[in-house]
Structure 1
Amino acid sequence: MMTTGPAVDWARKQVELGRVPVAVLGIASSRGVEDIVAFGSDAGRHAATDDHFALFSVTKPITALTVMRQVELGRLSLAAPLADSLPGFGAGRTDTVTLEQLLSHRSGIADPALDDGIPLREALTSAGQAFYAGSLVQYCNIAFEGAAALAERAAGRPFEEQLLALAADTGAHGLTFNTESNPHTVHGTDAAGLDVQAMYKNRHPGAGLFGTAADLLNLGSELLRDSGNAVRPATLAAMRRPRTTEVSHITTRPKPLSHTGLGFQMPANQSELFAQGIYGHPGWSGTEWWMFPEQDRCVVFLTNVLDAPEYGVDTNELFNAVAAS
C-alpha cells in the first residue's frame, strides 16, 4: 500500500488543510494500476478507494474516445456536420458545425445551463449561436451531446451503450450515468446555483459520468500502453494534437490554462511543469485525470468540491510531484 511519496503527501495535505473533505488518489503505469489511497470523511462517510465520484467534465475525454471509435472504423468523419444527425439544428446559421469543432470547443453553440431541465437533444437543437463555427474557442458542454448524436447515427445504437462498451473493453467497469452508484455528495452546488440532481437526470455526455479511481486508472493504463483497446494509436495521437493554440479564446481568465485536442486538454503552462506531453482533463467537482507519457504515469485525483482551485487545490503541485516520483 502506497502511504508516502510526493503525490500521496499532496493528496493527504488537501484534506488535512480543509480544502476538500475527502480525497482519493491513484497512480497507474502502462503495466496497470500501481496503488490507490483514500483520505478524509464527509458527514460521517469515510472515503474508500472504491468509492464513486461525480466526474463532471472528466466525462468529456471518455465521450470523445467513444465517438472516435466510430471515426477510426470509417463510419464517421471529423468533418461530419452536426445537422446530418440533428436536421433541426442551426436554423438560421450560415456556418457548418462539425464533429471536430464539437470536440474542441470551437462549435460556436451557445451553451445552456447544465441543470435547465430541458432534454439534451431538444436543448441542442434549439441552442443559439455564440460565434461563427471554428473562428473562436469557448468551452461548451452541450457540444458533447452533439458528438454523441453523430456517434449514434454512425453506429446505429445508443451512445450510452457505446460508452459502456468502451468501459468494458478497458477495465473501467464502474463507469456509469446512474446515481445508484452512491457517489459522494458534491459541495458548493448551492453557491454555484447548480441543481445537481437535475444535471444528473440528463445523463450528460459532457459532464454526467460517475466513476471510481480504478475505472480511470485502468482506462489510463490502456492509453499509456497504446494497446488499441480504447482507440488505435493513430486515433489517440490525433486526439492529443492541440487544435486551439492559434485561435482566440472567449474565457473569464486572462489567458487559457490549457490547449484542447479532441476531448483531451493539454496544459498550456508547460514552463511551470516538469513533465511535457501531459494530457487529460479536470472536472468542476475537483476531479482530475491525467496521463504523463514520458514518465509512463496516469494520475487520478477524486474529490467532491466545486471550484476546488479557489480553495487552494493547486494541480501544478500534483503534476510536478507525479513527474518527479
Structure 2
Amino acid sequence: MTRRDSLALTLAGLGLTFSARAANATTMQNALQIIQAQIDNGTLHSAVLRVSRGHQVTEQAFGKAKVDSMFLLGSITKPLTAMAVMVLVDRGEIRLSDPAVKYLPEFSEGARKNITLEHLLTHTSGLPDQLADNNALRARHAPLAEFVKGAVSTPLLFSPGTKYHYQSMGILLAAEIVQRVAKTPLPEFLQEQVFTPLGMSRTVLGLGKFQKEDMVPMQTEHAAPEAGAGDPKAREWDWNSDYWRQLAAPWGGAHSTVDDLSKCLSSLMHPDGKVLREATARLMTQEHTPKLEAHRGIGFAVGPAGLGKGCSARTFGHAGSTGTLAWADPVTDTTFVLLTALPKNVSGALILDPVSGMVSTMS
C-alpha cells in the first residue's frame, strides 16, 4: 500500500464527502512532502509528524528518526511544567491567585509581592525571558538553584499584570513553587503525577532513566542565541551537551515523542480525572489575558496565532525554539505534533508553519 493510499484510508472514516476526503488526503500528502523535501536537500536531519482527528491518525517519521524517537522539546516543556502546577491547584493545595511570595518568601522586593502564580504562567509577571548572565551561567554549568536565585532578584520589566512579555524565568519560579509545596523534585513530580498516569512512557524532564544517546541530536549550528547560536565554544553547554540534557530546565529541558505529546493534549481536550478534573483542564486551556496583545492560557498559547491559520479560537498549544510545535483544537478534535531536530529560527518558516497551516485547514 502506498502512503497516499494509507492517507486516503485514514481519512475515509471521518464522515466526509468523497471530494472532501480526497482534498484532505492531498493536503496531508503535500504537508508530508514539505518535510521530506527538507530531508532530501540536507537541511533537516530528523523529524516526526503525528496528526490525529478523532480516532483517525497519520504518523510519519523522516530522515534519521523513528516514530517513537525522543526529541528535545524546548519550550513545549513550559505547558508540561504548568500541568504540574495545575495538579496542585486541582488538589486545592495552591491557587492561581496566590502571590508567589507566599511560597517564595525571598521574592518580596517592590512589585514582586504583587506577582501571582497566574502571572508567572501567563508571561505577565514582568520577569525577563532569560537572565542577563544566562550564557555565563550555562558556560560554568550552574545548577538550577542559581537560575532561581537570579530570577528572584532580577529587575522587573514592567508592573505585574500590565503587559505580556514571554518569560522563561516566570516558568522557572512556578516550577520552584511546585517543588517547595510538593516537597518533590519537579522531574519526579511530573513523572508520578502526569507522565505515568497518561501512559507517557517516553517523556521525561531532563534525562531520567534514559541516556543522551537515546535522544535525537539537535542541529546546533542553527541554535538560538540563548543556546549558543551554533558557536563551537558553546558545545559544553548547548542543546546537545551533557549539561543541558541533564539540567531538567522547566522552561526547555523536557524530552518526548509525538505519541506521548498527543496523549497529553488529548487528556486536556477530554479530561478523565487521571491527572486533572474537567474544570481544572478547562481553566488551563482557556484564555487568561483578554485585554493584552497575546492570547495566553496557563502555560499555553490560545487561538490560531502561531499555531495554525485554520485553528479555532479554542485551540491551545506551544512551539519550541528547538524546532517543535504541538497543538490541539477541541472544535475539530484534532491534535498536531511535529518534532524536528532543526531549530525554529530555521524550521519555523520552512517546515513548522506551512505544515501546521495546511493541516489546520483540512475539512
* TM-score, length basis structure 1: 0.85
Change (3 A) 1:91 1:269: closer
1:226 Cα deviation (Å)? 2.3
Equivalent residue letter for 1:135: T
CA deviations 1:91-141 (Å, max 9, x no partner) are 344642110000000111133165433433222223221111111110001
Pick from 209, 216, 239 the counterpart of residue 261 of structure 2.
216
1:228 Cα deviation (Å)? 2.4
Q: Percent identity?
A: 25
Matched, 1:260 2:273: no
Describe how 1:147-296 pairs up with structure 2 within 5 A. Answer: 147-165=174-192, 166-176=194-204, 177-178=206-207, 180-181=211-212, 182-187=214-219, 188-189=222-223, 190-191=228-229, 195-196=238-239, 197=241, 198-248=243-293, 259-269=295-305, 273-276=309-312, 277-296=314-333
Matched, 1:13 2:34: yes
Change (3 A) 1:280 1:226: same
Q: Matches of 2:112 and 2:90 in 1, distance apart?
A: 29
Name the stretch that deviates more: 176-185 or 315-324: 315-324
Describe how 1:29-44 pairs up with structure 2 within 5 A. Answer: 29=53, 31=55, 34-40=57-63
Pick from 164, 172, 187 the counterpart of residue 145 of structure 1.
172
Pick from 78, 88, 96 the counterpart of residue 106 of structure 2.
88
Write 1 or 2 for the structure with the bigger share of helix. 2
1:68 Cα deviation (Å)? 0.3
Q: Rg: which structure is higher?
A: 2
* Residue 21 of structure 2: aligned partner: none
* TM-score, length basis structure 2: 0.77
* Residue 362 of structure 2: aligned partner: 324
Q: Matches of 1:316 and 1:281 in 2, distance apart?
A: 16
Change (3 A) 1:50 1:81: same
Name the SS of the counterpart of 2:276 in structure 1. Answer: coil
Pick from 50, 67, 78 the counterpart of residue 26 of structure 1.
50
Q: Matches of 2:342 and 2:150 in 1, distance apart?
A: 27
Q: Which runs of 5+ in 2 are unaligned?
A: 5-24
Name the SS of the counterpart of 2:351 in structure 1. Answer: coil
Change (3 A) 1:153 1:283: same
1:314 Cα deviation (Å)? 4.8
Name the SS of the counterpart of 2:295 in structure 1. Answer: strand
1:155 Cα deviation (Å)? 2.4
1:266 Cα deviation (Å)? 1.7
1:269 Cα deviation (Å)? 4.1
Q: Matches of 2:360 and 2:176 in 1, distance apart?
A: 37
* Residue 3 of structure 1: aligned partner: 3
Q: Which runs of 5+ in 1 are unaligned?
A: 41-45, 249-257
Equivalent residue letter for 1:34: V
